[in-house]
A and B are shown apart, each in its own frame.
Chain A
Amino acid sequence: MAPQPPQLSARRAQLTARLDQRDRTWWIDFAARAAVLLGGLSAILFIGAIFVFIATQGLELMGRLSFGEFLFGRHWEPTVEPPAYGALPLLAGTCWITGVAMLIAVPLAFCAAIYVGEFARGKQREWLKILIELLAAIPSVVWGVIGLHLMKPIIQTVFGVQVGLNVLNAGIILGLMAAPIITTIAEDALKAVPDTYREAAEALGASRWQVVWRVVLPHARPGLSAAVLLGIGRAFGETIAVLMASGHRLMVPTSIFDSAATVTATIAAELGETATGSDHYQVLFVLGLVLFLITFVINLLADWIVRGRRSR
Chain B
Amino acid sequence: MTTPQPKASPLDFRATGHERRALSTQKLVRLGFLGVTLLLLLPVLGILVTLLVEGAPGLSLEFFLDEPRKNGAQGGIFPALVGTIWLTAVALAVALPTGVAAAIYLSEYARDNWLTRAIQVAIVNLAGVPSIVHALFGVGAFVHFMRFGTSILAAGCTLAVMTLPVVIVATRESLQAVPRAFREACWSLGATRWQTIWRVVLPNSGSGILTGLILVVCRAVGETAPIMFTGAVALRVLTPESVFDQTMALSYHLYVVSTQVSEVPRHVPFAVALTLIAVVLAMNAVAIYFRMRLRGRKKW
**Contact surface of A with B, Cβ cutoff 8 Å:** 25-26, 28-29, 32-33, 35-44, 46-47, 49-50, 53-54, 56-57, 107-109, 111-112, 114-116, 119-120, 128, 130-135, 137-142, 144-146, 148-150, 176, 179, 183, 207-209, 230, 233-234, 236-240, 244, 264, 267-268, 271-272, 276, 284-285, 288, 291-292, 295-296, 298-300, 303
Say which one of B59-67, B131-139, B181-189, B238-246 lies at the interface with A.
B131-139
Cβ distance A226 to chain B, nearest Cβ, rounded Å: 11
Interface residues on B, range: 35 or more
B297 at the interface (CB under 8 A from A): no
Q: Is the CB of B126 within 8 A of A47?
A: yes
Say which one of B4-12, B85-93, B280-288 lies at the interface with A.
B280-288
- Docked Cα-Cα span, A36 to B102, in Å, equals 6
- Docked Cα-Cα span, A288 to B130, in Å, equals 9
A180 nearest CB neighbor, chain B only: B40
Cβ contacts under 8 Å, A25 to chain B: 192, 195
B261 at the interface (CB under 8 A from A): no
Q: Is the CB of A112 within 8 A of B36?
A: yes
Q: Is the CB of B280 within 8 A of A137?
A: yes
Q: Is the CB of A53 within 8 A of B145?
A: yes
A137 nearest CB neighbor, chain B only: B284
Q: Is the CB of B140 within 8 A of A285?
A: yes
CB-contact partner of A285 in B47, B104, B136, under 8 A: B136
Q: Is the CB of A208 within 8 A of B133?
A: no
Cβ contacts under 8 Å, B118 to chain A: 44
Cβ contacts under 8 Å, A42 to chain B: 98, 101-102, 164
When A148-B259, A272-B229 are in contact, do A33 and B109 touch as well, CB less than 8 Å? yes
Q: Is the CB of A149 within 8 A of B266?
A: yes
- Docked Cα-Cα span, A149 to B127, in Å, equals 30
- Docked Cα-Cα span, A146 to B270, in Å, equals 9
B140 nearest CB neighbor, chain A only: A53
Contacting A at CB under 8 A, from B13-28, are 22, 25-26
Cβ contacts under 8 Å, A139 to chain B: 221-224, 251, 276-277, 280
CB-contact partner of B254 in A37, A141, A239, under 8 A: A141
Q: Is the CB of B168 within 8 A of A43?
A: yes
Q: Is the CB of A291 within 8 A of B133?
A: yes
The 10 A-B pairs at the shortest CB distance, nearest first, are namely A39-B101, A237-B130, A139-B222, A40-B105, A111-B36, A53-B140, A115-B33, A32-B194, A39-B102, A299-B128
B290 at the interface (CB under 8 A from A): no
Contacting A at CB under 8 A, from B217-233, are 218, 221-225, 228-229
Q: Is the CB of A54 within 8 A of B288?
A: no
Contacting A at CB under 8 A, from B32-87, are 33-34, 36-37, 39-41, 43-44, 47, 50-51, 54
Q: Is the CB of B229 within 8 A of A133?
A: no
Q: Is the CB of B125 within 8 A of A300?
A: yes
Q: Is the CB of A142 within 8 A of B194?
A: no
Cβ distance B23 to chain A, nearest Cβ, rounded Å: 8
Q: Is the CB of B44 within 8 A of A135?
A: yes
Cβ contacts under 8 Å, B122 to chain A: 43-44, 46-47
Q: Is the CB of B119 within 8 A of A44?
A: yes
Q: Is the CB of B104 within 8 A of A49?
A: no
Cβ contacts under 8 Å, B147 to chain A: none
Cβ distance B298 to chain A, nearest Cβ, rounded Å: 16
CB-contact partner of B26 in A41, A140, A208, A230, under 8 A: A208
Cβ distance B29 to chain A, nearest Cβ, rounded Å: 4
A116 nearest CB neighbor, chain B only: B37
CB-contact partner of B30 in A138, A208, A298, A303, under 8 A: A208
When A119-B34, A150-B50, A264-B132 are in contact, do A207 and B22 touch as well, CB less than 8 Å? yes
Q: Is the CB of A271 within 8 A of B101?
A: no
CB-contact partner of A267 in B54, B136, B266, under 8 A: B136
Cβ distance A125 to chain B, nearest Cβ, rounded Å: 11
- Docked Cα-Cα span, A83 to B221, in Å, equals 37
Cβ contacts under 8 Å, B270 to chain A: 145, 149
Q: Is the CB of B137 within 8 A of A207?
A: no
When A25-B195, A49-B137, A141-B224 are in contact, do A43 and B119 touch as well, CB less than 8 Å? yes
Contacting A at CB under 8 A, from B151-173, are 161, 164-165, 168
CB-contact partner of A244 in B141, B192, B255, under 8 A: B255
- Docked Cα-Cα span, A264 to B98, in Å, equals 28
Cβ contacts under 8 Å, A267 to chain B: 132, 135-136
- Docked Cα-Cα span, A50 to B29, in Å, equals 47
Cβ distance B271 to chain A, nearest Cβ, rounded Å: 11
Cβ distance A26 to chain B, nearest Cβ, rounded Å: 7
B269 at the interface (CB under 8 A from A): yes
